[in-house]
Amino acid sequence: MLTTITAPHAPAAIGPYSQAIAANGFLYLSGQIPLVPDTGELLLGDVAAQTEQVVQNIAAVLSAGGSDFQHIIKTTCFLQNMSDFAEFNAVYEKHFISKPARSCVAVAALPKGALVEIEVIAAIISKGVLQ
């Protein structure tokens, strides 16, 4: 059974997709960019500030879906510029302390001009706030 997850404390999807889908004990998060949940606007700032906002958005979706950072299995990270890798990594390692499997690639562009996007696969550990 598939369950669509909607997190009230994360930015709404900006296209025809869900914030996350729960299926067979796993939570599949759509890529999060540094949108401020209250305004839906891109957080301006360097890659470190944008990564912090992305992490906050991921936390909100994980919570709504019944998971947390300790149960992340895999991340896929997208950077607009690979020269931001060290600055991005400094923020990433503070939050993803369980060291999930990860891919990190540079891309030509991200939605709304974001510098970073992260998508996550996590194990579900509870019913979450909306299931």
pLDDT tens digits for range 37-96: 999 999 999 999 999 999 999 999 999 999 999 999 999 999 999 999 999 999 999 999
Residue 23 domain flag: yes
Q: What is the DSSP letter of 45?
A: S
Q: What is the DSSP letter of 42?
A: B
| Pairing outcome for strands 26-32 and 116-123 | antiparallel
Res 130: pLDDT: 47
Domain with 16, as residue range(s), is: 2-123
From the number of C-beta atoms within 10 Å of its C-beta (0-12, 13-18, 19+), residue 118 rates as buried
User: What is the domain-level CATH number for residue 118?
Assistant: 3.30.1330.40
HSE-up (13 A, CA, CB side) for residue 48: 6
Active-site positions?
Answer: 104
Residue 27 domain flag: yes
End-to-end CA gap in the chain? 12
* Count of structural domains, the chain: 1
Residue 128 domain flag: no
Specify the pTM.
0.95
Average pLDDT over residues 10-29: 95
Residue 131 domain flag: no
